[in-house]
Amino acid sequence: MHFKSLILMSTMCVMVSACSEKRQNPLMTESDAPYGIINYEQITIDDYREAMQEGMRQQKANIEAIVNNPDKPTFSNTIEAFDKSGTLLDKTFLTFGNMSGSNSSEEIRQLETEAYAQLSNHNDDIYLNRALFDRIKQVYDRHLDNVTGETEMLDHEQMSALKHIYQDFTRAGAALTDEEQEKLRALNLEISNLQVQFSQNLLHETNNTYVTVDSREELAGLPEANIEAAAQMANEQGQPGKFMFNMQRPSCNPVLQYCSNRDVRRRVYEAYYNRGNQGNEWDNKEICNKLVRLRLKRAQLLGYKSCAEQILTKRMAQNVENVYDLLGAVWGPAVDKAKEELADIRREMKKDGLKCEPEGWDYMYYCSRAKAARFQIDEEKMSEYFEINHVIEGIFYVANRLYGLTFKEITGTVPTYEPSARVWEVSDKNGEVLAVFYGDYYPRDGKGAGAWMSDMRSQSFRTENGKEVRVIPIVQNVCNMTKASGDGPALQSIDNVTTMFHEFGHAMHFMMHNVHYNATYNVETDFVELPSQINEHWATEPEVLAVYAKHYKTGEVIPAEMVQKLVESEKYGQGFATVEYLAAAIVDMDIHSMTQLPADFDVIAAEEETLAKWGIPRQILPRYRVTNFSHCMGGGYTAGYYCYLWSEVLDCDGFEAFKEAGNIFDPALAERFRKSCLEPGSIDDGLTMYRNFRGHGPDVSALLRKRGLTPNK
């Protein structure tokens, strides 16, 4: 509420100044603020709308000019010109995307729906533009076929940009006939609409599927704060005196973990996994069936055997076989570990006088009880060693020891989109400014759940007086960490601490980018989590903890045995966690790698068949069932849920290099990681980058060890 009135105020200020002088759209003018940071607080919703329209118009005009150029197509008049054609549009959507994630409002959400539909059409117009593709193809053919007499020499990055752009066009259907392109446009539109519908149904099901409990006694074991929240929810839903849970994780997860009443757990468990499959008006089954069919049709129209094959051509994994090899290598040890955990659960159940076989709703509850009994970790006591400012110091310390980065806080001297965000100028080891970093750590209305990194301005180069100048990136971490109550310290759980190291790993990746083209900027999806996940490893190293994990009152460093117990305890429950993850990844891969579908294809039956074939223990379900699996059906991670594990193989094996060197801050190794994996964007493919760093391809055994999935024999 407070936030909304702020927006209103800033809009009013803008209106006043608009009367006195001609106001300029902050998105469409160069900012005179330090580092050229956009004056976020001055941007209105109409500014976004105007800059989006103008951005599309400019890009269209730029493309017209490329197509109508009478000169022979060259790298600079075609590839480079295309790469730079959407500058305003990119900048506007980058800024808007950050705003809709971290400071959303009803009017932003409205514009979002409208704008992304327009953008998708705009992109179809570009990638299906035959005259443009024709010029790109001429440049590509000349350089790739080494035609004699070619005078234009391209460097390694330019060759890479050329290949990426050419492949983006062919993947998008630029080489198809007119008739095929018409079909493709129709498919794209239908798929995109179904994905939106899927996500909206899921959101509704998650927020509006309730489990109601009549009495407090039935909630024994649940922490008081969760009981209070449930009572409040019931009140809001017109059922005062009762207790209600919806299907958002913070509401329903604690029930599965702590509530001793088996029947309450069962009801929550079933409701959670049945989202999108209740036969009501938000049912997702038919949408899933259609999506699988349409995605296959689109892939085959583009010349691929399956949807997964189409998607994996642009991934480090390259093909379906490589993905199954990885999933298969982890599956066996994970199922074995899950069965060991199951034995512990049976023992715990016996203590409660239960003689029956454990069910799915028993797993989390007894697993966490067995874990607590075995490790006796007091999470609250532990959090006293993780005050948020100390954690930030620890993160910066690691960045300094590894890469020589230094941080100067500049909060208050630069524009910001949110007054509580902190800002730092980040300098490189040679003293030059490398980037600006925003840390936006606490929850508020309008901020999305979870934690993420995004670049508010991407790194690029521009020419000034004939000299090339690096435009520094502006990078942000947006999180929902635990806020301090009153003047007290903001103490964090160990999960929050690793999340902060994780997001800062992404941030360093984007701070260190050193590329010349948009086409060489983004890495493959299954490489993305390497820089973030590898950075997590330093968080719990004793050498690092000694620097930052200090008690907020006494300053005493966290006791070694507490750390040891913590590291050991994190392996506990990994059998279950790994199997539920793998099962979802396998279902995603199975349904998207089908090369034909029976006339009566049914996604639920297909899922069941996969689970039976792999022999999943009956107490474990995939982390998401198909009808509520937004990674797989919503669009973002189609045939891509495996990516998290793929990156984890890289980060575990990669961190092992530092262990082998006997120094977690080995400077030569850190420098090699930076040069090979953090700076080049996608100039090289992921496997090449990784090999350049590690000297060999990734090995899965470090991951198995980290998750404790190696046999105990």
Structure-block tokens of residue 393: 């110091």
Phi and psi at 5, nearest 5°, equal: -70, -30
DSSP-derived 3-state class of residue 457? strand
CA separation (Å) from 456 to 104, 437, 477, 678?
A: 16, 10, 10, 18
Q: What's the closest the beta carbon of residue 622 comes to Zn ion, in angstroms?
A: 21
User: In one letter, which amino acid is 126?
Assistant: I
β-pairing, 474-478 with 433-440? parallel
Query: CA-to-CA distance for 578 and 623, rounded, in angstroms?
Result: 10
Nearer to Zn ion, 78 or 498 (CB): 498
Which parts of 532-571 interact with Zn ion (CB under 5 A)?
532
Q: Residue 440 forms beta bridges with which residues?
A: 478
Cα–Cα distance for residue pair 434/501, rounded to 1 Å = 19
Instruction: Return the HEC string of 474-540.
Output: EEEEECCCCCCCCCCCCECCHHHHHHHHHHHHHHHHHHHCCCCCHHHCCCCCCCCCHHHHHHHHHHC
Nearer to Zn ion, 135 or 513 (CB): 513
Quick check: 498 binds Zn ion (CB under 5 A)?
no
Site string for Zn ion, 621-640 (x = CB under 5 A): --------------------
User: Which pair of tokens denotes residue 22?
Assistant: 């001609």
CB neighbours of 513 closer than 8 A, spacing ≥ 6? 458, 459, 473, 521, 678, 679, 681
CB of 115 to Zn ion, least distance (A): 25
* CB of 492 or CB of 532, closer to Zn ion: 532
- The Cα–Cα gap between 70 and 78 comes to 12
Cross-strand partners of 491: 387
Q: Are 299 and 313 in contact (CB under 8 A)?
A: no
Q: Please say if 503 is a catalytic residue.
A: yes
Of 404 and 448, nearer to Zn ion (C-beta) is 448
Own/partner contacts of 108-117, CB < 8 Å, gap of 24 or more, are: 108/45, 111/45, 111/48, 111/49, 113/196, 115/48, 115/49, 115/52, 117/192
CA 615 to chain centre: 30
Q: Where are the beta strands (DSSP E) in 301-451?
A: 406-409, 422-427, 433-440
Would strands 452-457 and 474-478 be described as parallel, antiparallel, or unpaired?
Answer: antiparallel
Q: Hey, which residues does 455 pair with through a beta bridge? A: 475
- Name residues contacting Zn ion, limited to 516-535 (CB under 5 A): 532
Total of chain residues touching Zn ion, rule CB under 5 A: 1
Phi, psi of 155 (to 5 degrees): -85, 180
Residue appearing with tokens 């000019």: 65
Tokens standing for 126?
């570009």
Three-state secondary-structure class, residue 211: strand
Shorter beta-carbon distance to Zn ion: residue 166 or 510: 510
Q: What is the b/e burial string over 36-72, where b = at least 16 CB atoms within 10 angstroms of the residue's CB?
A: ebbbbbbbbbebbeebbebbbebbbebbeebbeeeee
Contact 274, 283 (CB under 8 A): no
Question: And the tokens for 107?
Answer: 């009017």
- List Cα–Cα distances, 219 to 213, 256, 259, 380, in angstroms: 8, 11, 6, 22
Q: How far is the CB of 536 from Zn ion (least distance, A)?
A: 10
Query: Cβ 453 to Zn ion, closest distance in Å?
Result: 7
- Here the tokens at position 363 are 């797993």
Among 348, 384, 425, 503, the active-site one is: 503
Residue nearest to Zn ion (CB): 532
- Residue nearer to Zn ion on the CB measure, 246 or 532: 532
Cβ nearer to Zn ion, comparing 383 with 532: 532
Task: Give the dihedral of Cα atoms 18, 20, 26, 32; nearest 10 deg.
Answer: -160
Q: Identify whether the C-beta of residue 656 lies closer than 8 Å to the C-beta of residue 702.
A: yes
In the complex with Zn ion, the residue whose CB is nearer, 257 or 532, is 532
- Nearer Cβ to Zn ion (479/633): 479
Tokens 């001297």 belong to which residue?
Answer: 413
Q: Are 221 and 230 in contact (CB under 8 A)?
A: no
Query: Looking at the DSSP assignment, which residues form a beta bridge with residue 478?
Result: 440, 452
3-class DSSP assignment, residue 562: helix
Positions annotated as catalytic residues are 503
- Applying CB under 5 A, the residues found at the interface with Zn ion are 532
